[in-house]
Amino acid sequence: MATIAQPYAGTYPRPSRWEVIWEWITTVDHKKIAKLYLVTSFVFFILAGIEALIIRLQLARPDERLISAETYNELFTMHGTMMIFLVVMPLGVAFFNLLVPLQIGARDVAFPRLNALSYWIYLFGGILLTSSWLFEAAPNDGWFAYANLTEKTFTPGHNLDFYYVGLQILGISSLIGAINFFVTILNMRAPGMRIMRMPPFTWMVMVTSVLLFTALPVLAVDLILLMFDRAYATNFFNPAKGGEPILWQHLFWLFGHPEVYIMILPAFGIISEILPTFARKPLFGYPVVVLSGAAIGVMGWGVWAHHMFTVGLGAAANSAFATTTMLIAVPTGIKIFNWIATLWGGDLQMKTPLYFALGFIAMFIIGGLSGVTHGIVPADYEQHMTYYIVAHFHYVLFGGALFALFGGIYYWYPKLFGRMLDETIGKWHFWLMLIGFNLTFGPFHMLGLDGMPRRIYTYAANNGWGFWNMVSTIGAFTIALSILVFFWNVYVTSRKPADAPADPWDGRSLEWTIPSPPPEYNFARIPVVHARDPLWHQKLLRRYGRATGNDPLAQEPADEHIHMPPRSFYPIITALGLPLMGYGFIYQQDHKAFWALFAAGIIVLFLGAFGWATEPTE
């Protein structure tokens, strides 16, 4: 019989009450951690969404004075920063957590405590960043915080200090997580699960992980340079002493461009899972789809200066980056064609996950095409820093990534929660969101080409921008309504019994071979894989009478002892050290006494690490 976690026996005595909270605080189970990421991301999604709604209220009419310029600048900065670092990326990680071990036939990730650590650091980093609102010091120079506006002389106050401390902490979470998943995928695949047999989602996680652990260090350096300029008067971005504000941009976008692929590749993976299941045929051109994902990852390193076409790098540089930018459209287009070919000739089951996947393709095509027009450099001179760019990235990040993530939520909800989300409510959610989304961001194309710049808290009436801004605001509230519909769906579903079958969608990959939700150990027997889409392969064998011998995907109870990693208190302790150090560093600039808080953070960090290193692991 399989056994679950051993009784806890660590260096410090264990309290005996509040079992449930304790269970969540000490969990190292990737499925529980997936739920933690999911719920936390949605909380930040609501906050960042409200920030957007206030922005839209301010911009609905010309010369509006609903909020001050200072507040507006904090709002758009936090909206972007939170959506990217506290919503889209962690939602992706929620799926990494749920799916990677299940899809490769493993019982957990390579380093379960490190996995928990990644979550707690994300939570505390997110709280620190968001708490800046309470300190009336929310970051306010845009999510990409161009130097030298971010120097202390131009942005006094702690706004930017919260920015670089918050992002540095969040970066650590992602870095650790990326290495964890990379090692997991390389090292913990079930027998027979060759790389080219892996489900496309796991493949994309592998590429995304590589991008994360190579790109984040560059951002970390950029943030360190900013920290030193602000706190210790160094000159990295100080033109008076010869510093180059452009250096910030180079380092930022060297991170920033891989970052957008970090956000979209998992979404690509989700779509590549949903389409075959609901078309009831294989992913068209699997090798091309996964390898084009890898190609995008690699080529993504060669396009960063397309964010800097107007900076004055020179005609040669601009031409080079125009070329690389246009080239990267090729692997992206290939994917879209392969997805459509997957649908073509299929037997399309029109369920909610497929709706979101179709919405993704439709919206991503628009976003991708507008992106190609940015690569036409002389046109970009007109588009740069206007709403046309805002249109592009919302189409690919919301119409793209977020639609795919919602599709994934509907698709894997039964696996994680044992219940199927309601189909009818799901379709209402989809249509409201699709319409609201297009009403909100479609007009941005017009506004941008009509010369409306980004990041202006108000605009004059004579520009003629009032109509489309009002339409956009109405769209934004429609999106909000659609999200409420989604929460209604979650609520209604929570009242149903948790009786979802193991394989509600007639799936293709290993996660559908185990119960919904799975037991803590996932697989009673580690499966042996003989083909891509191992479950579908098995079904086809059975259907055509070719299945012989024992079914390697069957999950009868195994008779060996299954050792699961015990729960641990130390990830959350270790993680707690970081925000203490963070607040301490931010405020030591005002009162030296805060160095004590910083030191306390280091001590907590070491105590956590010490407990971690010395607790038993069996």
d(CA 5, CA 561): 12
Between 450 and 551, name the residue whose CB sits nearer to other proteins: 450
Strand partners, 386: 453
Please tell me the count of residues contacting other proteins according to CB under 8 A: 147
- Choose the catalytic residue: 31, 306, 415, 537: 306
Geometric angle at alpha carbon 39, from 37 and 43, rounded to 5°: 110
Answer left, alpha or beta for residue 340, where phi above 0 means left and psi between -120 and 50 means alpha.
Answer: alpha
Omega of the bond leading into 552 within 30 degrees of 0 (cis): no
Residue 494 engages other proteins in binding (rule: CB under 8 A):
no
Which of 67, 183, 558, 607 is in the footprint of other proteins by CB under 8 A? Answer: 183
DSSP state of 26: S
Active site residue 259: yes
Which of 4, 9, 50, 330 is in the footprint of other proteins by CB under 8 A? Answer: 330
Which of 23, 70, 136, 499 is in the footprint of other proteins by CB under 8 A? Answer: 70
DSSP H helices, 26-132, are 30-59, 69-82, 89-104, 112-131
For the bound state, the minimum distance from the C-beta of residue 37 to other proteins, rounded and expressed in Å, comes to 19
Residue 294 engages other proteins in binding (rule: CB under 8 A):
no
The answer to whether 430 and 468 have CB atoms below 8 angstroms apart is no
Active site residue 537: no
Stretch in the footprint of other proteins (CB under 8 A) among 90-98, 457-465, 480-488, 546-554: 457-465
Omega of the bond leading into 318 within 30 degrees of 0 (cis): no
Residue 454 engages other proteins in binding (rule: CB under 8 A):
yes
Residue 369 engages other proteins in binding (rule: CB under 8 A):
yes
For the bound state, the minimum distance from the C-beta of residue 490 to other proteins, rounded and expressed in Å, comes to 24
Stretch in the footprint of other proteins (CB under 8 A) among 8-16, 119-127, 220-228, 484-492: 220-228
Please list, in sequence order, all residues whose beta carbon lies within 8 angstroms of the beta carbon of residue 544, skipping any fewer than 6 positions away.
Answer: none
- Give the H or E element holding residue 497: none
- Both tokens of residue 404? 């795919």
Binders of other proteins among 411-440, rule CB under 8 A?
431, 434-435, 438-439
- Choose the catalytic residue: 72, 120, 122, 143: 143
Residue 186 engages other proteins in binding (rule: CB under 8 A):
yes
Which of 85, 95, 96, 111 is in the footprint of other proteins by CB under 8 A? Answer: 111
Active site residue 143: yes
Binders of other proteins among 516-555, rule CB under 8 A?
540, 543
Which of 327, 481, 531, 607 is in the footprint of other proteins by CB under 8 A? Answer: 327
Which of 37, 96, 164, 286 is in the footprint of other proteins by CB under 8 A? Answer: 286
Residue 98 engages other proteins in binding (rule: CB under 8 A):
no
Residue 164 engages other proteins in binding (rule: CB under 8 A):
no
For the bound state, the minimum distance from the C-beta of residue 546 to other proteins, rounded and expressed in Å, comes to 14
The answer to whether 553 and 513 have CB atoms below 8 angstroms apart is yes
d(CA 472, CA 143): 21
Active site residue 16: no
- Choose the catalytic residue: 173, 184, 209, 493: 173
d(CA 181, CA 200): 15
Active site residue 332: yes
Strand partners, 453: 386
Residue 60 backbone dihedrals phi, psi, to 5 degrees: -60, -35
For the bound state, the minimum distance from the C-beta of residue 42 to other proteins, rounded and expressed in Å, comes to 26
d(CA 433, CA 453): 26
Binders of other proteins among 579-618, rule CB under 8 A?
613-614, 617-618
- Both tokens of residue 254? 């060297």
Which of 46, 490, 563, 594 is in the footprint of other proteins by CB under 8 A? Answer: 563
d(CA 35, CA 25): 13
Amino acid at 98: L
Instruction: For the beta carbon of residue 342, count every other beta carbon within 10 angstroms.
Output: 24
Only one residue has tokens 């490769």, namely: 104
Residue 281 engages other proteins in binding (rule: CB under 8 A):
yes
Residue 464 engages other proteins in binding (rule: CB under 8 A):
yes
- Both tokens of residue 462? 């004579």
Residues with catalytic roles: 79, 108, 143, 173-174, 257, 259, 261, 272, 306-307, 332, 335, 454
